[in-house]
Amino acid sequence: MNYLIIFVLGILMLGPIFYAYYLDYKADPKEFILSMKPLKKGLIQGLVFFTAYYGINKIYEFTFPLNKKHGIEFNLEREKLAIPKIKEDWKIDNHYSEQFKTEWWKPEPRNGHFKKIIEYGIFGVKYETDYYHNPNLKGTFAWSIYDYNKNIFVYFMERPNNKSIEVTEKGKIKNLKSSKTMGITKSEFDNYKME
């Protein structure tokens, strides 16, 4: 049904234009053909430009990042760097993955280490983020980020916010987010995973 509406609208919009061209052609065919030469040249140039742009864009999408082989086959390198590995039954989430980001998810139940995000630069991997969920601590998540450039880990935790409102210095009421994110130490991170 939608295609029919688009078709009818196209005829209503383009029909008068083509009819005007037809009337112009009937009035003086030679003059009409001469006036179409610049249009033909413009169409060819536009087609060449569109083809080049589309081709370069597709080459960019398929070529960059240059090294995107950091899936399960990269687990030996992860083990050397003490980065959590991707398990054999994990799957790539194509809905959230992009050209410079790949998301791996553990199948249900998603407790413990359940998600890994690999972020790429043009030349290869930049960060790996590993997410953990402890079912004993409801509403909490923890994650570690490994920076390949600096060779360091950074740790974070998201906890439910006990306070829903706060009074500012000026006496105004401020609604707070339902959760708060904070940086934590490696020992706090390890304790979260073990609890």
Q: In the chain, where are the structural domains located?
A: 2-63, 72-194
Residue 164: predicted pLDDT: 65
pLDDT score of 93 more than 80: yes
**In this model, does residue 1 exceed pLDDT 70?**
no
pTM value is 0.69
Q: How many residues does the chain have?
A: 195
Q: pLDDT at residue 169 above 80?
A: no
Using a 10 angstrom Cβ sphere, with 0-12 exposed, 13-18 middle and 19 or more buried, the burial of residue 131 is buried
109-138 per-position pLDDT tens digit: 888 999 999 999 988 899 999 999 998 888
